Amino acid sequence: MQYSAQYFIDKLNLVEHPEGGYYISSFRSAEEMAVRDVTRPIYTSIYFLLRSQDISHLHRLKSDELWYYHAGSPLTVHMVYPDGTYEAKKLGLNMEAGEVPQVAVPKNTIFGSSVEDANTFSLVGCMVAPGFDFTDFELFTQDELLADYPQHEAVIRKMAYKTIK
């Protein structure tokens, strides 16, 4: 059976995410831990869907995030590490083409994602540990990122908001 993006949006009750794409919280640890002078769940997990016409805009978390491929086309995760280096990893199942079924994004890394194939989507899972909280979520504008990482102008112009909505 061929599934569409709308099928997963409807069946999983996905809603729009501020960074772009669609999501829903799927798991949240009942146990909590103290981290950065606050309490967070040990982990949280979401379903995240990105269509080819969408961008998961560049943002940063204060926790590590693991991405898991589920369905659709490959997803490219764009990362600017704290030392300023850039790396793109393809999340998917075609390992001969350099894809991997899971990608780790270390805390404090600026990152976003895109679907390179036209007229399609990617459904992934994202687990954050310590658990996600929107107070630990930081979106960036192109100007903010270009001031610190001018060497990555092309990816910043593609992946960052011109202005925060």
pTM: predicted TM-score of the whole model, two decimal places? 0.94
55 Cβ contact partners less than 8 Å away, ≥ 6 residues apart: 20, 112, 113, 114, 158, 159
Assess contact for 126 and 104: CB atoms under 8 A: no
State both tokens at 108: 């404090």
Q: What is the pLDDT of residues 94-126, one digit of tens each?
A: 999 999 999 999 999 999 999 999 999 999 999
**What average pLDDT does the segment 26-40 reach?**
94
Nearest C-alpha neighbor of 146 from the set 132, 159, 156: 156
Q: Do you find a cis peptide bond into 130, omega within 30 degrees of 0?
A: yes
Q: What is the pLDDT of residues 73-91, one digit of tens each?
A: 999 999 999 999 999 999 9
pLDDT in the model for residue 48: 98
State both tokens at 44: 């949280």
| Distance separating alpha carbons of residues 69 and 67, to the nearest angstrom | 7
State both tokens at 140: 């960036």
Q: Which residue has the tokens 């992934």?
A: 124
